Amino acid sequence: MTDAERSQILEQRLDMVRERIAAACARSGRRAEDVTLIAVSKTVSPRVAGLSAKLGQLDLGESRPQELWRKAEALKALPIRWHMIGHLQRNKVERTLASVQVIHSVDSLRLLEEIAEQGSRQSLRPRLLLQVNASRENQKYGFELDEVADLFPKVQSLPVEITGLMTMAALSSDPDVARTAFRALRQIFDDANREGAQLTQLSMGMSGDFEIAIEEGATMVRVGSTLFEGLEAE
């Protein structure tokens, strides 16, 4: 497959995903421009990620810090907004902060404190989402739903901008499983805002469930395989 062919396939898939986002917004009385599509490029080479950016899809997500650094370096000529969406070890914070627009996957207080410290060293005010374990399934990373309310008073003085919450629904063929998790995240988002937090972003929904997530209030959807399947060649 040539890059021209890859680009054509990607363009069609981006159009299709954007149409599905618009339709989900219409169904739920929301505006399509209130939902940001993040193309998760973790399975493809920097070159293919770059094709996506050249098609105007500038929000790209990566789940491994080293891979994010590698792609950000290779594609630094393009105005890409990189989103860190996977587990971030504390010893990788320093280098990640320099390349990233938003970290979606702040999953512990220790990580949050490390980001705050490195951020002030680099004179940055990092934009962060707290990752929440909103499904009943025992997930490896993320705050528990009932931890979030207590967290905000503790972190208010840190020099970071916590703009929202992120979750991943459990894999299931039953769409109600995802809907229940998304609704639970929306609930604690609303609760936190009622208590004075100023959250605007809900990062939820992937290839299999992004329309449900939009119906439940997602402002950022993270779509990988639907866009990049079959385009992985280095």
Ligand X SMILES: *Cc1c(COP(=O)(O)O)cnc(C)c1O
Residue nearest to ligand X (CB): 224
Secondary structure percentages of the chain, helix, strand, coil, to 5: 45, 15, 35
Strands 161-166 and 81-84: unpaired
Burial class (CB in 10 A: 0-12, 13-18, 19+), 138: exposed
CB of 218 to ligand X, least distance (A): 12
Interface with ligand X (CB under 6 A): 40, 42, 63, 85-86, 168, 206-208, 222-226
Tell me if 165 sits within 8 A of 188, measured CB to CB.
yes
Cβ nearer to ligand X, comparing 158 with 169? 169
CB nearer ligand X, residue 35 or residue 206:
206
Which structure tokens are listed for 231? 């385009």
In angstroms, the CA 165 to CA 77 distance is 30
Shortest spacing between CB 33 and ligand X, in angstroms: 21
Q: How far is the CB of 156 from ligand X (least distance, A)?
A: 26
* Smaller CB separation from ligand X, 85 or 158: 85
- Give min distance, CB of 59 to ligand X, in A: 13
CB of 115 or CB of 218, closer to ligand X: 218
- What residues pair up with 223 in beta bridges, in sequence order? 39
